[in-house]
Amino acid sequence: MKSKFLFSPEMVYLNHGSFGACPIEVFNDYQNWQRKLEDSPVQFITKTGIEALDISKKALAGYINCDSEDFFFTSNPTTAINTVMRSLKLNEGDEILTTDLEYGAMDYTWQFFEKQTKAKYVRQSIELPIKSKEHFLEMFWKGYNENTKVIFISQITSATAIIFPIKEIVTKAKQLGLITIIDGAHVPGHIDLDIKSMDPDYYTGALHKWLLAPKGSTFLYVKKVLQKNLDPLIISWGYGNPRTARGQFLDYHEYNGTRDFSAYLTVPSLLKFRKDNNWEVEIKKCRQLILEWYPKFCELLDTKPICPVSSDFLGQMFTVIVNTEKPIKLKEELFNRFKIEIPITEFKDKYGVRLSVQPYTTISEIELLYDSLKKIKEEGVLIK
């Protein structure tokens, strides 16, 4: 499977979670679109590329189950959440409830919002280990009060790699009349996503992580009734000059200056790659490996899992706590000495080794990680 990707051969790539990886076949499709763009720039940007965009959007809409008019492509989840943040109308004292396990760039985005509006970003503490869904929900909703107006939360967390029970959160939030903004950066192509059944107000998911798209492709879904109030992040031609039959929402967000949108056109080819390579079945095996190996790594590093070792909480990643005072050195050691690319993440007052498993990952690579950490631990310098 690895030969179907473009990885440098000497590297053991156990960090799919950070930036994903794109199969050669999909990357070729991406470059073919770029060639078409250079071949006939005007035709592509005004007609043929737009037609291809519609085809790609329909393919993605089928995969995540929503209408293709209810989302637009953007480069990354941070841009998507910034777009939502810029149009959110909250008053001084209103609260956005979140957890203390969110992605750093999102925390910064909401801290910026706090300064602009005097609304409050409430990072509810989630005690680790999470013991069950009920335990998580109980901890999370402790942060709710009459000032809460918005829920912002990841479906799969970044540093801790935990799947949160989002369906339950969205359902309760709706009963309470709250706006829901879901950061599903890690979700498309990783765990099942059914937007219609979840029914969030805003949902963003990266395509370049687990769905295998080229870098810089992400979607932002917006519920129909909220679309007319979402301002574009970039004011461009689509703003003051409605010019297509696509409607205000897509004019606002899909026309923002000259850009290369080739990465967005690869959804049909990546879905073909997934089908031809039995990807949906293969990733189930990866999830099994995660459940098998997580307890072994915890034992090796004398620590406990941070969530139940079950498919409700873990997908194709786990984070094992590591007792280190030198996280940067530890990451460098793993890469320089053992050629293993893997992140050392930080959450609360802890560090963790976050393993990603994809169908291109071999058991011997996971064993290499295990043996390398064992050696480093025995040396007693970087891991205590």
Ligand X SMILES: Cc1ncc(COP(=O)(O)O)c(C=O)c1O
Q: Residue 226: what residue type?
A: L
In angstroms, what is the minimal distance from the CB of 252 to ligand X?
Answer: 20
CA distance 71 to 57: 8
Q: Which of 77, 143, 200, 359 binds ligand X (CB under 6 A)?
A: 77
Q: Closer CB to ligand X, residue 95 or residue 183?
A: 183
Question: Which stretch, 44-52, 85-93, 151-159, 171-179, contacts ligand X (CB under 6 A)?
Answer: 151-159
CA distance 242 to 351: 50
Q: Closer CB to ligand X, residue 207 or residue 301?
A: 207
Q: Which of 74, 99, 154, 262 binds ligand X (CB under 6 A)?
A: 154
CA distance 255 to 229: 17
Q: How far out from the chain centre does Cα 243 lie?
A: 33
Question: Which stretch, 43-51, 85-93, 102-110, 165-173, contacts ligand X (CB under 6 A)?
Answer: 102-110
Cβ neighbours of residue 172 closer than 8 Å, sequence gap 6 or more? 137, 141
Report whether 246 contacts 70 (CB < 8 A). no
| 129 upstream amide cis, omega within 30 of 0 | yes
- Which value, to the nearest 10 degrees, does the dihedral of the CA atoms of residues 311, 315, 317, 323 take? -30
Question: Which stretch, 71-79, 108-116, 195-203, 268-276, contacts ligand X (CB under 6 A)?
Answer: 71-79
Q: Closer CB to ligand X, residue 103 or residue 264?
A: 103
Element (H, E) at 221: strand 218-222
3-state helix, strand, coil in the chain (%, to 5): 45, 15, 40
Q: Which of 13, 71, 103, 113 binds ligand X (CB under 6 A)?
A: 103
Q: Which two tokens stand for residue 58?
A: 């329909």
Please report, as residue ranges, which positions from 164 to 223 form the binding site for ligand X (by CB under 6 A): 183, 185-186
SS3 category, 213: coil
By CB under 6 A, tell whether 158 contacts ligand X: yes
Q: How far out from the chain centre does Cα 333 lie?
A: 27
By CB under 6 A, tell whether 73 contacts ligand X: no
* Phi, psi (degrees; rounded to nearest 5) at 318: -140, 155
Taking residues 1 to 30 in sequence order and writing x for each that binds ligand X by CB under 6 A, - otherwise, the string is -----------------x------------
Cβ neighbours of residue 157 closer than 8 Å, sequence gap 6 or more? 99, 101, 102, 103, 164
Question: Which stretch, 66-74, 152-160, 285-293, 362-370, contacts ligand X (CB under 6 A)?
Answer: 152-160
Q: Closer CB to ligand X, residue 195 or residue 376?
A: 195
Question: Which stretch, 100-108, 165-173, 290-298, 313-321, contacts ligand X (CB under 6 A)?
Answer: 100-108
Report whether 316 contacts 287 (CB < 8 A). yes
User: Nearest Cα to 110, choosing from 96, 89, 126, 129?
Assistant: 96
In angstroms, what is the minimal distance from the CB of 38 to ligand X?
Answer: 26
In angstroms, what is the minimal distance from the CB of 186 to ligand X?
Answer: 6
Question: Which stretch, 72-80, 113-121, 131-139, 192-200, contacts ligand X (CB under 6 A)?
Answer: 72-80
Report whether 200 contacts 181 (CB < 8 A). yes
Q: Closer CB to ligand X, residue 124 or residue 248?
A: 124
By CB under 6 A, tell whether 76 contacts ligand X: yes
Q: Closer CB to ligand X, residue 23 or residue 343?
A: 343
Question: Which stretch, 73-81, 111-119, 242-250, 341-349, contacts ligand X (CB under 6 A)?
Answer: 73-81
Q: Which of 15, 56, 74, 78 binds ligand X (CB under 6 A)?
A: 78
By CB under 6 A, tell whether 317 contacts ligand X: no
Total interface residues for ligand X by CB under 6 A: 13
Contact residues: ligand X, CB under 6 A: 18, 76-78, 103, 105-106, 154, 157-158, 183, 185-186
